Amino acid sequence: MLVLISSILVAGIPLIYCGTIDPLTPEERSWLNQHDGKIIVNNETGWPPIIDIDKDGNSYGIVMDYQRLVEKKLNFKFKMDKLDSWHNFMERFKKGEIHVNNNLQKNPSRTKFALFTKAYINIPNAIIVRKEVKASLSLEKMSGMKIAVTQNFAIHDYIKNNYENLTLIPLDDDLHCLLETSTKGVDAAVVNLAVASFIIEKMGISNLRIAGYTGYTNELCFASRKDWPTLNQVLNKGLGLITQKERDDIYKKWISLGYLPFYKNRNFWIVICSISVIIFTFFFIILVWFRSLKRLVEQRTETLKKQTDELNAEMTGRKQVEKSLKKSEKKYRNIFENAVEGLFQSTPQGSFVNVNPAFARMLHYESPEDLVSSISDIAEQYYVDPEDRHRC
């Protein structure tokens, strides 16, 4: 009964280790415990800071930092083999003598003998030139240039297959590519950013800079034996437990060239100064335009004020004339209406325009209006001899 209960508990409840819930299933933990310290890891030498050995023969680099984190997260240890050349390492990996490589890129030929985790870091391949070359570059802009690249690397095959017009100079390693660029043996080098950063800083090569990127990145994975699928599952889980902060810390530690503070970047200040000049020029033009507009408005306002004053003066004069005319007209009308003599106005053609009451009475009409409406031809109707009107 005790054995049965224990089996049920182990199968149904995740194991507890180091005070936390085990990320592995009981089966995965059991398999890993059986192989603890027996999973052989090997890498090629001479690719710092991705992977290399120090003077004491100890492995170091980006992938070793990731490997140690995976060991810590999963609470187990790999068995480190002595680093070997790329060719020897790959042959031993295919034969099953090596169980894991922690910096391999996945491609169709390699999937025939290995299982791959998800890529745990993507490192771009940079275009390195001498500082005297000021232009920004991409592979599309490098026709006619001699470009150093490490032979048989993935980036070599990528450029050769996709940019047949480019002149490639295959060299033994990234160090030779950078040195040839520095000494003007070639025009540029295409090198993994992490490697370029490490070599330039370590070797003190001060006349090189990054002119651009190829668009092709080194996607590093943990590759393991194809007949050990459980190991691949375990490695994926271990990598998944690494936090973003831990990843960033590793990146910054080894790739200083890619983490140059923005305020120390010459191009940053060129852009800032250019934007500042444009903004200053824009506001200066606006200020000048506003001042010019203000002066124009003031001039127009002054002109309008003068025109308004002149118009007001003219209107005042006209009102005074109208007032005088009305006064004179009233006075004339009063004299015309009240005169005892007969007064009239007529047209040259012989019609009355206006007659006063005295004139209407003299001709025996009840009102001036009756007289005006009754006589349409003064010469014929008013004079005995029509010619007398013309003589008058």
pLDDT in tens, 318-337: 888 888 888 888 888 888 88
Residue with the larger pLDDT of the pair 265 and 328: 328
pLDDT confidence of residue 109: 86
pLDDT at 201 over 60: yes
How many Cβ atoms are within 10 Å of 44's Cβ, its own excluded?
19
pLDDT confidence of residue 371: 85
User: Using H for helix, E for strand and C for coil, what is the string for the chain?
Assistant: CHHHHHHHHHHHCCCEECCEECCCCHHHHHHHHHCCCCCEECCECCECCCEEECCCCCEECHHHHHHHHHHHHHCCCCEECCCECHHHHHHHHHHCCCCEEEEECCCCCHHHCEEECCCCEEEEEEEEEECCCCCCCCHHHCCCCEEEEECCCHHHHHHHHHCCCCEEEEECCHHHHHHHHHCCCCCEEEEEHHHHHHHHHHHCCCCEEEEEEEEEEEEEEEEEECCCHHHHHHHHHHHHCCCHHHHHHHHHHHCCHHHCCHHHCHHHHHHHHHHHHHHHHHHHHHHHHHHHHHHHHHHHHHHHHHHHHHHHHHHHHHHHHHHHHHHHHHHHHHHHHHCCCCCEEECCCCCEEEECHHHHHHCCCCCHHHHHHHCCCHHHHCCCCCHHHHHC
Q: How many Cα neighbours within 13 Å face the side chain of 246?
A: 15
pLDDT in tens, 249-264: 998 888 765 444 445 4
pLDDT at 209 over 80: yes
The owner of tokens 């200083």 is 256
pLDDT confidence of residue 265: 52
Q: Which residues make beta-bridge pairs with 14?
A: none
pLDDT at 16 over 60: no
pLDDT confidence of residue 107: 85
> What b-and-e string marks burial along 3-30, b requiring 16 or more CB atoms within 10 Å of the CB?
eeeeeeeeeeeeeeeeeeebbbbeebbe
What interhelical angle do 193-203 and 174-182 show, nearest 10?
A: 60
Q: CA-to-CA distance for 248 and 43, rounded, in angstroms?
A: 23
For residues 124 and 64, the answer to whether their CB atoms sit within 8 Å is no
pLDDT at 45 over 80: no
For the chain, what are the domain ranges? Answer: 2-119+222-249, 123-219, 261-337, 339-391
Does the predicted TM-score (pTM) go above 0.75? no
Mean pLDDT of the chain: 86
CATH topology match: 2-119+222-249 vs 123-219: yes
pLDDT confidence of residue 257: 56
For residues 53 and 59, the answer to whether their CB atoms sit within 8 Å is yes
pLDDT confidence of residue 10: 42
pLDDT confidence of residue 392: 60
pLDDT in tens, 310-323: 888 888 888 888 88
Q: Which of 38-52, 80-94, 132-146, 287-301 has the highest mean pLDDT?
A: 132-146
Q: CA-to-CA distance for 83 and 52, rounded, in angstroms?
A: 8
The correct CATH number of 123-219 out of 1.20.1530.20, 1.10.10.10, 3.40.1350.10, 3.40.190.10 is 3.40.190.10
Confidence class of residue 185 from pLDDT cuts 50, 70 and 90?
Answer: very high
What the block records as the tokens of 34 is 């059986």
pLDDT confidence of residue 13: 41
pLDDT confidence of residue 187: 97
- In whole angstroms, what separates CA 112 from the centre of its chain? 43
pLDDT in tens, 56-83: 888 899 999 999 999 999 999 999 988 8
How many Cβ atoms are within 10 Å of 225's Cβ, its own excluded?
18
pLDDT confidence of residue 56: 85
CATH number of 2-119+222-249: 3.40.190.10
Q: Omega into 261 within 30° of 0, i.e. cis? A: no
